[in-house]
Amino acid sequence: MMSYWVNYGIALHVKPGPKLWRIPFGIQLIPAGVMLLGLLTVRESPRYLASVGRTQEALDNLAYLRREPPTADGVIHEMAEIEAAIQEERDARRELGLKEAFLGKGNWIRFVIAIVIFLLQQWSGQNAVNYYAPQIFASIGYTGRKNGLLATGIYGVIKVVATAIFVFLGVEWLGRKASLFISAVGMGTCFFIIGSILKTHPPPATSATAAPVGNPPAASKAMAAMLYIFVCFYSMGWGPLPWVYCADIFPTRTRHFGLAVASASQWLFNFVLTRTTLQMETNLGYKIYLMFGAINIGGSAVFSLFIPETKGRSLEDMDVIFGAVSREKRQADIAKQEQELDVRDGSEKA
């Protein structure tokens, strides 16, 4: 959000020249520095500590995260679940090669989901608007660089506020599947409306840097409003949730492969979209919005109906959900680990 307003402020107060791009790049170092300092206060992951044999530290950190004492039944059970999953992963990793990692039982479908979810996210249309917002707003009637940047800044504010509201209030209430479905249908509907208005009430042909001519017409304001509503729907599902979902579904033994493939897919599809957006906007006109609408409703919404729900499920549940391990074996492993933890806890007290 701040970047939009930094660009707007620089466009207002800085003369054309190298400073137009150097100042925004330099300002980005400030939040990066704050994040670097914040890393010093973060506690180590209980799963990592358990995986390297530091069980007591893992139990203490887990209790800290759950805000309960280390002796609480819920903490003990979750710790047992973590250790059971780690032992299963060690047993499985002894023979884990690339083929098994990607094509093993319960694994390949997770990689397919990770790739497809980011393909659909990138082609939802949000980054086309995000990266080329001044040109997009010019195409619907907001001429002049300052007008385009102002409209873009408002777009950024709405995006951040909508994301914050959803992350804190909506994601655990609606769940992953419902959020993705509602988000996709809402985005698609907004794009169909924009495409229809642009077809029936096209603004005068202008460029993003042309001098503004009075107030934008009512049709342009309606299309801008649809873009603002669109980003609200995007922020409640297909913006944050693909990353959350991919983090949910991969177990520790293939997590590095899974998140690497997910991230690489995201940036590959992002590159293709960025490379082709301006040509599509020029050649397709209003049809680009109909295309994004069809992708959202025909692709993203349908896809969200077929993926498993991960709301309220632990990382250790994912192998059971995707069939990598049977529910009966997992329960037996948990019971075994609980017995070992009880014995260990009793010996420490003695």
Q: Write down the pLDDT at residue 262.
A: 92
- Flag whether 10 is in a domain: no
Would residue 162 count as lying in a domain?
Answer: yes
The predicted pLDDT at position 113 comes to 92
Residue 118 · residue 265 · CB < 8 Å? yes
Whether 5 maps to a domain, the answer reads no
Residue 38 falls inside a structural domain: no
The conformation of residue 166, written as its DSSP 8-state character, comes to: I
Let me know whether 187 and 261 are in one domain. Answer: yes
DSSP-derived secondary structure for 44-68: PPHHHHHHTT-HHHHHHHHHHHHTS
> What distance in Å separates the CA atoms of residue 152 and residue 157, rounded to the nearest whole number?
9
Residues 256 and 118 in one domain: yes
Q: Does the residue 279 lie in any domain?
A: yes
pLDDT given at position 206? 55
- pLDDT digit of tens for each residue in the chain (350 aa)? 677 777 777 777 777 778 777 888 888 888 889 999 988 888 888 888 988 888 889 999 999 988 888 888 888 888 888 888 888 777 766 666 666 667 777 788 899 999 999 999 999 988 888 777 767 777 776 666 666 677 777 887 888 888 888 877 777 788 888 999 999 999 999 999 999 998 888 876 654 455 555 577 788 888 888 888 998 999 888 988 999 899 888 877 778 888 899 999 999 999 999 899 888 888 888 899 999 999 999 999 999 898 888 888 877 788 788 876 767 777 777 777 777 766 565 555 55
Residue (of 27, 32, 184) closest to 121 by Cα position: 184
For the entire predicted model, the pTM comes to: 0.70
Task: Give helix then strand counts, H and E, for the chain.
Answer: 20, 0
Is residue 1 domain-resident? Answer: no
Query: Quick check: is 212 in a domain?
Result: yes
Structural domain for 228, as ranges: 106-315
Give the pLDDT score at 252: 72
- The whole-number pLDDT of residue 95 equals 62
Give CA 169 to chain center in angstroms: 16
Contact 238, 184 (CB under 8 A): yes
The tally of domains found in the chain comes to: 2
**pLDDT at residue 112, rounded to an integer:** 92
Per-residue pLDDT, 209: 52
Residue 14 lies in a domain: no
